[in-house]
Each structure stands twice: as structure tokens, then as C-alpha cells.
Amino acid sequence: MGSDKRDDGKVFEAHSITKGWYRLMHVWGQEDVDWEGINDATAYIGHWLRKWPRVCVTDMKEKYGTVRIYCHFGWYGVYSIWRPHYAWYPKWWPMRLDFWLADSWILRLLNKIAVPLQQKAYAWRYKKAVEKWPHLREEIVSMADYGELFEGVIPGYKHSDYWKTM
């Protein structure tokens, strides 16, 4: 799984409250890493998810040499469909419509359709990124928040290779 040893022979490891111990792919200063490719893959996935399937991508970045796309599926109102990665302005008139829709049968029905489609789009875009940057496969898929969606979509991907269940 990428470089896992520093110059002094120690393994790169970090701890996450939600994900437990995991190995870091890379650290800044490593010269044998395609940093530009990692950043391009991040933008390739994140911007497309915002634009076409209207996924709420809250952040996208390179972290420890891996692609990080932080997002959630589904919509909570008109504004989250129209501008999925922005916060709405409280005095703006559609806010009242969003409050009415927030727990309505209309939005629940819409999300029953939208969420599975967004999940398929998420996995498909990651697959396209892996095809476009095959030398960065591990960097792209290893820290995905919804990696379980890749099984059967990205050839050879096995979620348990990256995450262990508690």
C-alpha cells in the first residue's frame, strides 16, 4: 500500500477516531509521488459529483498522499439540489420552502430515487479516475468514505483490504 516507511525505517501510521489505525500513503517531501496527479484526481471526482449527480461534496483535498472526498448522499431541501455545496442565506425566500420540504413525503420520495443514483455515480466516477490515473489506484481508492460501493465496480477492489470492521 504505497510507501509505508520513513527514512529512519519507522512506519507511517495515524489514528482516526472513526477509522482506527491506518497507514499513511505518503508524506510531503517525498519526491517519487505524483502529487499533481493526486490533486487532479481529487478535482476530477469532486467537481463532477457536485455538478452532475448533485452530491453535496463538503470538502475535497489531498491528505497524506490520498484522495479525500467528503460528501453525503441525498437532499434536504431545494437549495441542496440547486447548490449542493453551499450554505443558504437565512433571509432568502426559498429558506421557507426548504423548511417546509425538510421532512416532507416529497423529499423522502425524491431521496429514495436520488440516493441510489448518487451512490452509483460516486462509484462510477471513482472507477473513471482509477482508469485515468492507473498508477494512483491505491491513492485514489484507499481512503474513500464510501469504499464499500466500489466492490463489483472497480475491478479487483475488495473493501476489507482497506478497512476492518469493528
Closest by CA position to 69, among listed 51, 43, 93: 43
3-state DSSP assignment of residue 35? helix
Q: Which residue has the cell 455538478?
A: 51
In tens, the pLDDT along 10-19 reads: 445 555 545 5
Domain hosting 77: range is 34-161
Amino acid sitting at position 3: S
Judge whether 4 lies within some domain.
no
pLDDT band at 154 (very low <50, low <70, confident <90, very high): very high
Q: Are 23 and 1 in contact (CB under 8 A)?
A: yes
Judge whether 18 lies within some domain.
no
Q: Which residue has the cell 421557507?
A: 96
Judge whether 15 lies within some domain.
no
Query: What's the structural domain count of the chain?
Result: 1
Q: Rounded mean pLDDT of 98-118? A: 89
Judge whether 52 lies within some domain.
yes
Q: What is the DSSP letter of 26?
A: -
Task: Report the C-alpha gap between 24 and 124 in whole angstroms.
Answer: 25
Query: What's CA 157's distance to the chain center, in Å?
Result: 16
Judge whether 72 lies within some domain.
yes
In tens, the pLDDT along 144-153 reads: 999 999 999 9
Residue 22 has pLDDT above 60, yes or no: no
- Average pLDDT over all residues of the chain: 83
Residue 87 has pLDDT above 80, yes or no: no
pLDDT of residue 16: 52
Judge whether 20 lies within some domain.
no
More confident residue, 9 or 142: 142
pLDDT band at 29 (very low <50, low <70, confident <90, very high): confident
Closest by CA position to 24, among listed 10, 36, 13: 13
Judge whether 86 lies within some domain.
yes
Judge whether 96 lies within some domain.
yes
C-alpha cell at 56: 453535496
